[in-house]
Amino acid sequence: MKTKLLFVMALAATMVAHAEINPFFNYKNWKTPRSTYPFNEIKTSDYMPAFEEGMRQGLAEIDAIVNNPKAPTFANTIEAYEKSGQLLSVVASCFYNLTSAETNDELQQLEMELSPKMSEYSSTIRLNEKLFQRIKAVYDQRDKLKLTKEQQKMLQDIYDGFANNGANLSAEDKLTYKELSAKLSRLTLQYGQNVLKATNAWTMLISDEAVLAGLNDDTKKMLAQNAERKGMKGWLLDLKPTTYIPVMQDCDNRDVRRELYTAYNSRCIGGEFDNTQVIVEIVNTRLAIAKLFGKDCYADKSLYKSMAKNKENVYKLLDEMRDAYMPVAHQEAEELQQYAKEHGLYAQLQPWDWSYYSKKLKNEKYAISDDLLRPYFELENVKKGVFGLAKRLYGLTFKENKNIQVYNPEVSAYEVYDAKGNYIAVYYCDFHPRDGKRGGAWMNDFRPQWKEGRKNNRPHIVNVMNFTRPTDDKPALLTYDEVRTFLHEFGHGLHGMLTQCQYASMSGTNVPRDFVELPSQFNENFIDEKEFLDTFAKHYITGESLPQELLDKMHASQNYHAAYACARQLSFGYLDMAWHTLTSPFEVPAGLSVEEAVLKFGNKAMETVQLMPIVSGTQMETAFTHIFSGGYAAGYYSYKWSELLDADAFSVFKAAAKKNGSIFDKKAADAFRTNILERGGTEDPMELYKRFRGGEPTIDAILERDGIKAIIVNK
């Protein structure tokens, strides 16, 4: 007995010592501002013990729910389930944010090791029959319970989450589902890591500056700095957006554009980081999971919670937009082909030619270009403008707090307050590309929002981008598209910051995929409003406001190649749906390699919206992280769905501006905030939208905004 007591005391002492070393174990007592992550104290070696302890605690909390002798109630079952796994959530939020924004070989290896453990943990809970029986017991009496709308929605979501993740399967099928889920988790992780590694692996050193004719001085300086950081002399091209976009748009050397295009669009096709076989295994695994649930295809299983509801409505949207936009898109392509011919390109226009000649034609038509606009979009001014927009619409102010620790010195952290001075959120922003950061731009949370008694636990939100870096002699000067991207991701951020929900799983951006893009795409609309641009678009040297002449040209050009842009997005949506509406496993036809079969399938899926010739050996699907590792499987259409919503929503502000003279309409902003931004996933999204708008959206607003309706009417 004494020996056992000594052992227990020693074990307790060890755990206390470990807790002092591992900051995650003390997360409830962090002394950081607003209980933010103490990034300076967190070591890579802290993650695995914290994950393991978090999983242990989470399973113990589930066992406590299951073994509760009292009859199942909303409080002792549904709310208890909602609150379980807090330590695991804390460590996972930190870890997975960093594996996207600040990763390294050690973290990537750890991510691979954690993948089967996390999959096992999730499956163990999802397939716990006794837990599901308690949830079902509460669900079956839901009509008799006096629940709020949010509680009703959470109960429905939790029940559906279990039912659609295997709770009603047979014991044998549960085991199969568990194995398939673990396999899928491993495959999607491998896919994403392959894309990042392939992107980082490719470079091309240019030793003759003449080869880079057409590029502006800022871009060439950036490329020279790339080379310098690698210990090279010359100009180093890579596949990051800050290189790829300006080279494709501005480099006069067609061979350089072709080589860069080919490298970018052949990432993960064969070679060390091949994703073609991974794609086949992912889609077949997803299909196998769908079949377990009695569904014909993966889309049938995944769309049940969406606004679209089913694949037929998705295709209805894609087809309706294709039929409206493609005739105009073909006109745009024909015009650009003729323009290229007039400027010496007698061959057929190729994909690496589109951006180059498109920019030149746009500049000739409207005398507008990024080079003219960049000086007015200095990053710090843009930031003030974006923050100022949030103040004008929603009364928010952003105060930088340098005492909040950050995961990289480039990251800035702010405390956010409402119009009454009440603390609302912590906001992190991370603007520039790094080797440890994946491409693209996104929003996430380090901590969600939820209420506990009278305490409203406010969220910690992060925006991550890959914008143009400053050079030795100039600050970061953004392109028009980069400013738009900032507004987009900040719209997601507002959705996360302004949320006012009872439960974490219902708050912020925890909404269907085809609804989550509404706040972000809605926010983009302000970039074309003079009243907004006048608040921040100042020349970084002279302080001069963006001239009216440039504003007029921007407005005149805003629908330039809108049909082409739509066709491009539709092609991604069709590709996604093609892979995820397969009703039988994908098999490589005889005589074809897996690489050839995958590329052929992708080309077929996109053929009705294809405007450029297909380039042998290239395809975007092998680096299409959104659908193969980013959670948008059978959901990429949501960008166009949300675009329809955002155009319809912004028409309320446009109408108010005509009536009241200001796009910053307080009444409309309050309605958008109250019905959309604050409500998270607490109700059916269409009901929330109709409450804001007064009715369901139509395609009319987007056709009008993109100038398509005018073209149709004139014809």
| Closest C-alpha to 430, from 100, 37, 192, 34 | 100
Strands (E), 441-564: 442-447, 450-452, 455-457, 460-464
| Closest C-alpha to 563, from 294, 286, 328, 234 | 328
**Whether 236 contacts 247, CB under 8 Å:** no
* CB-facing half-sphere around the CA of 675: CA atoms within 13 A: 19
Tokens representing 388 are 């100022």
Look at residue 431 and give its three-state secondary structure: coil
Q: DSSP for 632-677, please give it.
A: -TTTTTHHHHHHHHHHHHHHHHHHHHHHHS-SS-HHHHHHHIIIII
Look at residue 468 and give its three-state secondary structure: coil
End-to-end Cα distance, the chain: 93
**Whether 106 contacts 91, CB under 8 Å:** no
Q: How far apart are CA 178 and CA 122, in angstroms?
A: 9
Q: How far apart are CA 691 and CA 48, in angstroms?
A: 46
DSSP 230: T
User: 10 Å Cβ neighbour count for 564?
Assistant: 22
From 378, 415, 489, 524, the catalytic residue: 489
- For 149, residues 6+ apart whose C-beta sits below 8 A from its C-beta are 682, 683
Q: How far apart are CA 447 and CA 95, in angstroms?
A: 12
User: 10 Å Cβ neighbour count for 363?
Assistant: 16
Residue 595 is a catalytic residue: no
Q: Within its chain, how far is the Cα of 171 from the centroid? A: 36
| Residues designated as active site | 489
